[in-house]
Structure 1
């Protein structure tokens, strides 16, 4: 069982980044309370584009990522972000190789 990571870029509609971040709250809470195999789930603001947020996610396994991605909370998040986002998130799935904390 090897770890898997995700880097996601989410672009908000012009001026909607704060609302988009607030809409992420239920998912952030869900991950913390209900996903023990989600190792890291970090929401960050882009420093050069005021409409972009980035998610860095690390999972204990591909199965943990699949459980996260198919959760009811993820489906609800998609609906909550739809009126705030300027399109679908750009998702990159990676295999962590080496690093501090890995």
Structure 2
């Protein structure tokens, strides 16, 4: 069963409000990391574009709908919702929340320890009826990337549940240079762009993100053997 991924872009009222929101979200991420084995990712990010002083991105992954439901019912989350509800001036606009399921993905153990990885997020809308073949192309890119790019720490292709022709991607690199000089010019990426690129795409939206709290992956417990 594919994991579920919830990606939220929150709009805060400004830099001070944003820090308050991040701190509140961090408490939830700490709870999930310690108590929810079926929440493998709870990453809190800010845009690398410093002119954007209001956005907060939250990337959550759940092993199942049951895990998502349990998370939402936890005291950590109900307390967060109550806090945000009691302090509406923290926000400057409505959030954008999308739900997807994982189509193809890998995450290396190094992702759990990365302190300043370069994270790219994309939302790609395809022409009607073209998403399925595009997912096949992305699956090949994920496979080739896992084999050939050790400093690509995580690569995730999501089938959006809200829009039937949309694919979301979340990519984590050791640094921006690796993304630009190794991944983008790779044969897998260029061939995918050639076959499933502009001719079948309707739109492409990008965001470049910085991890500020939470976790991209959980460290596996050391074996006693």
Using the size of structure 1 for normalisation, the TM-score is 0.87
Matches of 2:11 and 2:99, distance apart in 1: 18
Higher relative contact order (CA 8 A, sep 6+): 1
Name the structure 2 match of 1:9: 9
Partners of 2:2 and 2:103 within 8 A in 1: no
Name the structure 2 match of 1:77: 80
Q: CA deviation at 1:54?
A: 0.4
Matches of 2:53 and 2:29, distance apart in 1: 21
Structure 2: where are the runs of 5+ without partners? Answer: 108-155, 157-225
Q: More deviation in 27-36 or 14-23?
A: 14-23
Displacement over 4 Å in runs of 4+: none
Structure 1: where are the runs of 5+ without partners? Answer: none
Name the structure 2 match of 1:86: 92
Q: CA deviation at 1:11?
A: 1.2
Name the structure 2 match of 1:39: 40
Superposed CA RMSD: 1.7
Q: Deviations over 1:34-91 (max 9, x none)?
A: 1110011100012332111101111111111111112221111012233222345321
Name the structure 2 match of 1:20: 21
Q: CA deviation at 1:23?
A: 1.6
Matches of 2:64 and 2:48, distance apart in 1: 30
Name the structure 2 match of 1:57: 60
Q: More deviation in 76-85 or 30-39?
A: 76-85
Matches of 2:106 and 2:30, distance apart in 1: 25
